[in-house]
Amino acid sequence: MKTTYRAMQVTRPGTLELVERQTPTPGAGEVLIEVEACGICGADAADIEGADPMLQPPRVPGHEVVGRIAALGTNTPSIWKVGQRVGVGRLGGYCNECIQCRQGRFQLCLNQPFVGATCDGGYAEMMLARSTGLVSIPDELNAEEAAPILCAGIATFNALKKCGAQAGDMVAVLGIGGLGHMALQYARRMGFKVVAVGRDSDIAEDALTLGAHVYIDTSQEDAAAKLKSMGGAQAIVTTIGHSGTVSALMGGLAPQGRLVLLGAGKDPLPVSAGNLVVGERSVLGSITGSPYENEKTLDFSVLAGVRPIIEVMSLEKANEVYQKMKSGDVKFRMVLTMTGRGTPQ
């Protein structure tokens, strides 16, 4: 094992710097991962822009991490072996002690680090991780295509599982980007009538290719009225955080329909109480999920042929990749590779 490794750290808010660090030794219940790929998520922007400039050493972002176990700490469960392919998502490993863990709701653990924000992430060749946060990676997926599934994949897969719709029901996906392009694929393969909702016509063809039966361009028509004319959506999964856009679409929910929120905006969400009460409609927030749920997402992706559309770039280009992601000039997901493997797709 190398004594040092390369990492992209946030030297000051908004700026990534390539540095050489000493290879750490995993502590009790931890593993050391030799990272092969790390996806770039929209949430990385908040981690990079809002990083604590006083933190030493500076934070390493990234929470869609795939690699192999290089070393095991003490008291690591026997299911994990050196050389095993593993991943880590946004949730960095539950404590197994708090009230949420005791109730089996591990994704809501009260003492769980957020990878790339409160602990170092995967913009690096090596990374420490809690063993309770590890996800087993199927052999059928390479590291680059598995990485985005650990966040964008599980977030949308779980949201659709919670949305209350059944096969044959109409489900709308608002926002056809990094999360939305995964949601369309999952929704189609789950047997829903899939409606994609975007704000321009340039994404229409992609949306239909990814699995949408219908595309609604909000710049050309009233999306809520269109959904209502089609009988109403049993569920709307929104991947964006703009509260005004989300609120405007709620009129397209069918009675007993459910709005599932994935985009975590800062502004309050205006909701018509009358619309909720009279039609028995509801609003639900959905976080990513537990490691077990992440493995179910990966397995379904293999079974159903769901894959993220990605562009792969090397670790040292993380600043360039990050700026490209912020500009919105990405179709649909960027992935950093540590080994030079993989090609843009």
The pLDDT tens digits of the residues spanning 185-200 come to 999 999 999 999 998 8
Q: Identify the three-state secondary structure at position 265.
A: coil
Going by the DSSP 8-state scheme, the letter that residue 124 receives in this structure is B
Mean per-residue pLDDT for 325-339?
86
Q: What percent of the chain has pLDDT over 90?
A: 85
Q: What is the pLDDT of residue 82?
A: 98
Contact 337, 32 (CB under 8 A): no
User: CB neighbours of 140 closer than 8 A, spacing ≥ 6?
Assistant: 302
Q: How many helices (H) and strands (E) does the chain have?
A: 11, 15
- pLDDT tens digits for range 258-274: 999 998 777 889 998 99
Sheet holding 193-198, edge to edge: 214-217, 193-198, 170-174, 233-238, 253-261, 282-285
Contact 121, 60 (CB under 8 A): yes
d(C-alpha 281, C-alpha 131), whole Å: 39
User: CB neighbours of 283 closer than 8 A, spacing ≥ 6?
Assistant: 258, 259, 261, 269, 271, 276
Assign domain 153-285 to its CATH superfamily.
NAD(P)-binding Rossmann-like Domain (3.40.50.720)
The amino acid at 330: V
pLDDT at 344 over 50: no
CA 68 to each of CA 20, 35, 83: distance values in angstroms, whole numbers, following the listed order: 20, 7, 5
The amino acid at 191: G
Q: What is the largest CA-CA distance in the chain?
A: 64
d(C-alpha 286, C-alpha 263), whole Å: 9
Among residues 2, 15, 4, which one has the least CA distance to residue 51? Answer: 15
Q: In this structure, what token pair is assigned to residue 206?
A: 């992609």
Question: Where on the phi/psi map is residue 143: left (φ > 0), alpha (ψ -120 to 50), or beta?
Answer: alpha
The amino acid at 15: T
- pLDDT tens digits for range 117-163: 999 999 999 999 999 999 999 999 999 999 999 999 999 999 999 99
Q: What is the pLDDT of residue 340?
A: 58
Contact 55, 139 (CB under 8 A): no
Count of C-beta atoms within a 10 Å radius of residue 1: 9
Torsion 112-115-119-124 (CA) sign: positive
d(C-alpha 104, C-alpha 40), whole Å: 29
For the chain, the structural domain boundaries read 4-150+289-337, 153-285
pLDDT at 343 over 90: no
- pLDDT tens digits for range 228-240: 999 999 999 999 9
Contact 215, 196 (CB under 8 A): yes
Q: Which position has the token pair 């710049």?
A: 219
User: CB neighbours of 244 closer than 8 A, spacing ≥ 6?
Assistant: 267, 270
pLDDT at 341 over 60: no
pLDDT at 331 over 90: no
- pLDDT tens digits for range 9-64: 999 899 999 999 999 999 999 999 999 999 999 899 999 999 888 899 999 999 99
Contact 281, 275 (CB under 8 A): yes
Q: What is the pLDDT of residue 110?
A: 95
CATH number of 4-150+289-337: 3.90.180.10
User: CB neighbours of 139 closer than 8 A, spacing ≥ 6?
Assistant: 85
Q: Identify the three-state secondary structure at position 164.
A: coil
Going by the DSSP 8-state scheme, the letter that residue 31 receives in this structure is E
